[in-house]
Structure 1
Amino acid sequence: MKATRYEGNKTFSVIETEIENPKKGEVRIKVAYSGVCGTDVHIYHGMMDKRVAMPQTIGHEMSGTIDAVGAGVTGYAVGDKVVVRPLDDTKVKPSDKGFNHICEELNFIGIDSPGSMQQYWNVPAFTLHKLKENTDLKLAALIEPLSVATHDVRLSGLVAGETAVVLGGGPIGLLVAMVAKEVGAKVIISEVNPIRIAKAKELGFDAVSPIDVDLVEYVHGKTEGRKADVVFEVAGVQPALDVMTEVAGIRGRILMVAIHGEKKPIDLFKFFWKELKLIGARVYEKEDYEKSIALITANELPFEDMITDVQPLSNIQQVFENIDKNPDGLKVLMDCQL
């Protein structure tokens, strides 16, 4: 089979290797598609070399069918369509308080251990979620990032009739906006990239650039002065941190979706003055995956428009180079059988 390897120094290789039988408690998946995540791009840029053991097969957004079942596995059969929730959360401690998805010794499969950018992939059966037979595997590759969005919206407590401001209109920001709209919220997207603004508008969202308009005044006008009930900070840049406390209304909730690797200044006075809440959100839980699977299965949201390119697995080096050259795209999928 073909497998890819991250070698470091912005380099991927494609190798031929033996297909391995699944061990006890594992299944072997014939991987259909593997999405390229922002984290994968960080790995490509060498930002996670201290964490990723090289050479390493990366990738964690995927879909596929079961090709073989190891001893002791029940409830799954060859031919079942599945996705993997890539969290090996078996090394739990009392200090994790039952929140296994963010346990101290979490193994994020595809980062901390081999991932899905290969033709066949052996994984623990407890990571699987079964799909319906008629599920489009191309769309199913969006279930992992969509689960990030369903987790974020669930933790926010967003309900129908509320206003949500999404700071950042990239892939995760748009998925958050879709889920927020699906629960009945009014959604405003703030994004500086004109191509992504146009895409958000094409998808039916109210999208503006904070460079062209005063975002605080814009949200004020759209909400009769109430401002946002929920703000999703997805951009990960200082201007978003500066404005998030301004666009939030009284007792607004701010969801920290973006990853900030360094300490950043935040206007804590606004938290006191308006009784704001700041909520951290990381990865997802089982119920978020089930929600995402239901949304993909229903296919009533414009998920197909999120996929801007599909490339053969053998083109992996070119794919990452092109993402650097063209950061305007949304979701690139690798066809893992080509």
Structure 2
Amino acid sequence: MARSQYAGGGRQASYAGHGTIEMTEAPAAAPGPGQVQIRVAYCGICGTDLHILHGAMDHRVRTPQPIGHEMSGTVEAVGAGVESIAVGAPVTVMPLDWCGDCPACTSGTQHICQNLDFVGIETTGAMQQLWTVPESIVVPLPEGTPLTHAALVEPLAVAAHDVRRSRLTPGETALVIGGGPIGQLIALVAARTGAHVIVAEPNAERRAFAARQGAIVVDPLNEDLAQIVQERTGGAGADVVFEVAGLAATALDATNHARTRGRLVMVAIHPKPVPIDLHRVFWRELELLGARVYEREDFDRAVDLVASGSLPCDEIISDVVPLDRTADAFERLADARALKVLVDVQN
């Protein structure tokens, strides 16, 4: 399927540039060969979408364009040759379109393709009633999975990839610096891996959520994070530190909390270079790991976790708003008034 040719239709919430979301409408064409048309049920909003709204990604996003990539829905129609998905099936989408030819792809790391198109950024996204995508990126959902919960699969796959990259094992201690949506999901996946979890987060409501899930919580603005980590680990430090806050100060501080030969996973996107304490990396033989998006096995694990009913999905979802209130949902997330807001695309 040609890039930037992800067809849409029906009512759409489109990024129009200059910090604005506008409602548009477009006719829907039948899916072509190898394509699947999805009736989108719910679409979540993430930090990347906020960056798009604020104009930080205008070099990648056409305007006006429906955005969004955290979604769930049901198959409306299929094109010729589509055999893996049937009309009416519940699905989500793994929104990565790789080239297949670059060194990253040919080495088996297609998810970090050197020419990667992220669907919903470089191409039309899911904030529209009908969305046509290649069969190859459609992920079936187990029957009975609530579609509200299924809209969490994509961000949960990010967390699953981060934890898998960290090589976290049962009994280890994981420190999550930053308790926003992805940080909370990392904490949940880490706990289900059998780890002891500490979450450092200044927002009281987000700390309360993490505490309800069994994590040790720390207010880094008013408590001594280093002391608490030392107390909880017998003076050793955390086995794995996830830097999710995305601040220069937290990136610099992260190495201070890892044990000898501990692992530091850089999850947050730092758009500009920030200082890292490389002497500490040397002195304690730390590993510094990057973690970007996900692979199919991470997506499959996320589907299994959501379908199992073992995650507090209803608590993670702060609100569900109709499509014409998409701009309001962005505002709520921008000032940290919500953990995850879903857009009900059909209403």
Superposition TM-score tier, normalisation by shorter sequence: over 0.9
Contact 2:42/2:343 (<8 A) preserved: yes
Distance between the aligned counterparts of 1:254 and 1:148, measured in 2?
16
Q: Distance in 2 between matches of 1:132 and 1:4?
A: 28
1:199-244: CA deviations, max 9, x gaps?
A: 2223322111112111111100011111100000000012211221
8 Å CA contact 1:271–1:277 kept in 2: the answer is: yes
- The Cα shift of 1:94 comes to 3.1
Q: Equivalent residue for 1:213?
A: 223
SS of residue paired to 2:142: coil
**Aligned-partner residue type, residue 30 of structure 2:** N
Partner of residue 114 from structure 2, selected from 97, 104, 119: 104
Give the distance between the partners of 2:187 and 2:167, measured in 1 at CA.
14
1:91 shift after superposition = 4.2
- CA–CA distance in 2 between the matches of 1:113 and 1:95? 21
How big is the shift at 1:105?
0.8
| Residues in 1 aligned to 2:250 and 2:162: alpha-carbon distance in whole angstroms | 17
Q: Deviations over 1:222-277 (max 9, x none)?
A: 11111100000000012211221110000000000000010111110011110000
1:52 to 51, 61, 66: 61
Runs of 4+ aligned residues of structure 1 deviating over 3 Å after TM superposition are none
Is the Cα–Cα contact under 8 Å of residues 178 and 245 in structure 2 kept in the other structure?
yes
**What is residue 195 of structure 2 aligned with on the other side?**
185
RMSD: 1.1
Query: Percent identity between the aligned chains?
Result: 49
Out of 66-75 and 189-198, give the one that drifted further. Answer: 189-198
Match of 2:312 in 1: 302
Deviation, 1:322, is: 3.3
Q: For 2:13, give the aligned amino acid.
A: T
Q: Secondary structure at the match of 1:236?
A: coil
In structure 2, distance between residues paired with 1:128 and 1:85: 6
Deviations 1:282-330, CA, capped at 9 Å, x for gaps: 0000000000011011111212210001000111122223333x42310
Partner Cα separation in structure 2 for residue 95 and residue 290 of structure 1: 22
How many residues of Structure 1 are paired with residues of Structure 2 in the alignment? 337
Residues in 1 aligned to 2:331 and 2:174: alpha-carbon distance in whole angstroms: 34
**1:263-282 mapped onto 2 (5 Å cutoff):** 263-282=273-292
Q: Mean Cα displacement is larger for which, 238-247 or 78-87?
A: 238-247
* Structure 1 residue 311 corresponds to structure 2 residue 324: no
Task: Identify unmatched segments of 5+ residues in structure 1.
Answer: none
1:95 is displaced (CA, Å) by 4.9
**Following TM superposition, by how much is the alpha carbon of 1:90 offset from its aligned partner in structure 2, in angstroms?**
3.4
* 2:80 aligned counterpart, secondary structure: coil
1:230 matches 2:233: no
Give me the whole-angstrom Cα distance separating, in 1, the residues matched to 2:103 and 2:197: 39
Match of 2:27 among 9, 12, 18: 18
Q: Which of 138, 156, 160 is 1:146 aligned to?
A: 156
Counterpart selection for 1:113 from 107, 118, 123: 123
CA distance in 2, matches of 1:145, 1:94: 26
C-alpha distance in structure 2 between counterparts of 1:328 and 1:15, whole Å: 27
Name the TM-score, length of structure 2 as normaliser: 0.95
Equivalence for 1:257: 267
The secondary structure found in structure 1 opposite 2:128 is coil
Q: 1:164 aligns with which of 174, 191, 200?
A: 174
Three-state SS of the structure 2 residue aligned to 1:282 is coil
Amino acid paired to 2:163 = V
CA contact (8 A) 2:104 2:112 kept: no
Aligned partner letter, 2:20: T
Contact 2:96 2:118 in 1 (8 A): yes
User: Counterpart amino acid of 1:121?
Assistant: W
Whether the aligned pair in 2 keeps the contact of 1:171 and 1:331 (CA below 8 Å) is: yes
In 2: Cα distance, 1:335 partner to 1:90 partner: 32
* Deviations 1:96-129, CA, capped at 9 Å, x for gaps: 4221111011110000000000001000000011
Residue identity in the other structure for 2:75: I
Q: CA deviation at 1:79?
A: 0.5
Q: State how far apart, in whole Å, the 2-side matches of 1:176 and 1:293 are.
A: 15
Which residue type is aligned with residue 76 of structure 1?
I
Alignment partner of 2:48 out of 39, 46, 53: 39
Cα separation, 1, equivalents of 2:242 and 2:62: 32
Residue 5 of structure 2 corresponds to which residue in structure 1? none
Cα contact 2:98–2:117 (8 A) shared by 1: yes
Under a length normalisation based on structure 1, what TM-score does the superposition of the two structures give?
0.97
2:71 is equivalent to residue 62 of structure 1 = yes
